[in-house]
Structure 1
Amino acid sequence: MVIFVGSIQTILVNEVGILIAEKVPGYQEKWKELTLVEGVLFFLEVIIGDFVVVWRAWVLWSDNRKILIVPSLLLLGSVASTLAFLGCFIENDWPITLPPTCSSLNIATYVLSMATNITATCAIGYKVWLHWRVVKKYLGTLHARGGTEKVLVLLLESGVAYSMLWFLQVITLIPSVGTSPVGAYVQQVLYAASVQLVGIYPTLVIVLVYLQRSLWDSSGSSTYVQAVVSEHSRNHRPSERGEDAELDILKPTRLVLEDGESHRSSTLTQV
């Protein structure tokens, strides 16, 4: 929108009385400046989005960091390729048509970001599945999906949708696809959508994390789960608790939150 408004101002408003053809050089310079800002902001948002996704998986898998080795390595690769692409873009004076080196780095940036999101989303999905399996085993038909689980599902679904967006972007970057008229049109549509979603997604994840905490704190679910865990422990002798490791997924974690002048404890679910 900023580029569109800037273009209209340069071509139709500024310097009235001059032919549009004579304004083209000035328009191109203005376009380059606005594109520079947009490009830097977009790829910085990509990095932030990847960090937020991996961070969410990192929090959920605090008990087993090995699960996150692959997403973390892909995140480092995504950051490196993004910075390298921006450096190549700047070095070539922000060209409209990318040179081969910049084009390869651009594709690498999208591929690594897509892979980072897919692997992190899979890690989140696996943790959600483990949670459901244990809850169903010990609570059975008494269990009704609580607010926390709904938020976790929303996190998972948003991660899948975000990964699909990057997957479609990568497909349109294939030369045989992106150079066709239809492919070029789809590429522009997906890019316009990604510019909006890349900025929204990190904020969405952070808000959902906050909602997960708030819903768990206010729903009373933690009290119920603690009762189930305690009942299971009382009914089994220590030698018969081979399945207690599974119950760790239901046990709440204590987190101290600062509330004004005092400190209070809130119970969070560990999933």
Structure 2
Amino acid sequence: MDPVMSTPTVSENEVADEVGFLAYFDVVYVLGASLFYGLSIPVFAFSINILRHRARNSKPVRFLQILTYLTFFSVTGQFISNIGETLTGLSWSQSPSDNISYRDRMAKASSKAQPYGIASLIFQVLNFFAGDAIVVWRASILWSTSRAVRYILCLLLAVSAAASIYDVTNFSIILTSNKGTSGNGFLRGDAASMFFSSAVNLAATSCIMIKAWLFRQSIKDTMSREKVNRNVPFRILFSLVECGLFYCAAQVANGILTVDDNAPSVFGRAIVAQFTEFFAGTYSALVISIIASQRSIAESSFVSDV
């Protein structure tokens, strides 16, 4: 065989590199989705188990049960959509053909994966809204005597929901009009919805933080510092603040990586995005678990005070 004829051309090497990168990326993407979904299942199981055994006739508990079931459904839908989109996008590699270039086959597979992409974004929006709603609900209860605080939080929640609806609509239009999925318009809309969601959570978490500080000030004169730190209501508030700040940090990081073309790693960006999407849905169950495990839902007076 002629050595010149057996030497791959530059274009063939580029194709091989691109195919290898895409396959490796998809494997990492699927493993990341599986890992974070698997971690969310015990949290939901714990939350559902607690709600089933506490104050079954309580309307707030029934509301939280419904919210938890719906959130678990959206997280599961997120996982299925992500896996379906990835596997469908890889279908081009399972049908090699000498008559059709790999780029054409990839474009066709990408077109087939579009419904999964839209569904994935819808479930992502539902997860973000659930995370926003649960922390706004908690902050509103803590500030039940202040209409201004509750109205501001509800307004921020409505703005965040509107940004998410725009994000889904814009993404769907881009896909169906065959303009691609990586346009700056989509990325800006996606990042905007994340930043609005983080703003809602930061505002609500700040309200909870202020309430925690006021509560600590009210009991520190009658208790030792050790007893204050072990006080159940204070521990709940402190745990909610910790979770809220961590959630906000994850959302901001995801939003920055979404619009940063100079992100250090495509894989790192994908992992952060996967984590944020699943943590957004799991966050509501985590908050419920923190509260319900300390009897704060079952006891109405406790809810009002804390």
Tell me whether the two structures share a fold, i.e. TM-score over 0.5. Answer: yes
Task: Decide whether the 8 Å contact of 1:81 with 1:109 is kept in 2.
Answer: yes
TM-score normalized by the length of structure 2 = 0.62
Aligned residue runs from structure 1 range 110-259, under 5 A: 110-140=194-224, 143-144=227-228, 145-174=230-259, 178-182=260-264, 184-213=266-295, 253-254=300-301
Structure 2 Cα separation of the partners of residues 162 and 142 of structure 1: 28
Rg: which structure is higher?
1
**Aligned amino acid, residue 105 of structure 1:** G
The Cα offsets for residues 71-114 of structure 1, whole Å up to 9 and x where unpaired, read as 322211111111112112222226312353x4443332122111
The Cα offsets for residues 12-65 of structure 1, whole Å up to 9 and x where unpaired, read as 55x5x6468263243212322221111111012111211111011111111223
TM-superposed CA distance for 1:126, in Å, is 0.6
**Aligned amino acid, residue 169 of structure 2:** G
Question: What's 2:141 paired with?
Answer: 59
TM-superposed CA distance for 1:147, in Å, is 3.4
TM-superposed CA distance for 1:270, in Å, is 1.1
Structure 1 Cα separation of the partners of residues 156 and 225 of structure 2: 40
TM-superposed CA distance for 1:184, in Å, is 4.9
Question: What's 2:44 paired with?
Answer: none
**Aligned amino acid, residue 191 of structure 1:** A
Tell me the C-alpha RMSD between the 2 structures.
Answer: 2.8
Question: Is 1:23 aligned to residue 58 of structure 2?
Answer: no
Query: Which protein is richer in helix relative to its size?
Result: 2
Task: Decide whether the 8 Å contact of 1:46 with 1:198 is kept in 2.
Answer: yes
Q: Which consecutive unaligned segments of at least 5 residues does structure 1 have? A: 218-252, 255-266
Determine what percentage of the aligned residue pairs are the same residue: 21
TM-superposed CA distance for 1:181, in Å, is 4.7
Structure 1 Cα separation of the partners of residues 225 and 239 of structure 2: 23
Equivalences, count:
217
**Paired residue for 2:189, among 88, 105, 114?**
105
Structure 2 Cα separation of the partners of residues 48 and 78 of structure 1: 11
TM-score normalized by the length of structure 1 = 0.69
Structure 2 Cα separation of the partners of residues 43 and 7 of structure 1: 22
| Secondary structure, aligned partner of 1:137 | coil
Question: What's 2:25 paired with?
Answer: none
TM-superposed CA distance for 1:170, in Å, is 3.1
TM-superposed CA distance for 1:187, in Å, is 3.1
Structure 2 Cα separation of the partners of residues 146 and 93 of structure 1: 53
**Aligned amino acid, residue 205 of structure 2:** T
Task: Decide whether the 8 Å contact of 1:50 with 1:117 is kept in 2.
Answer: yes
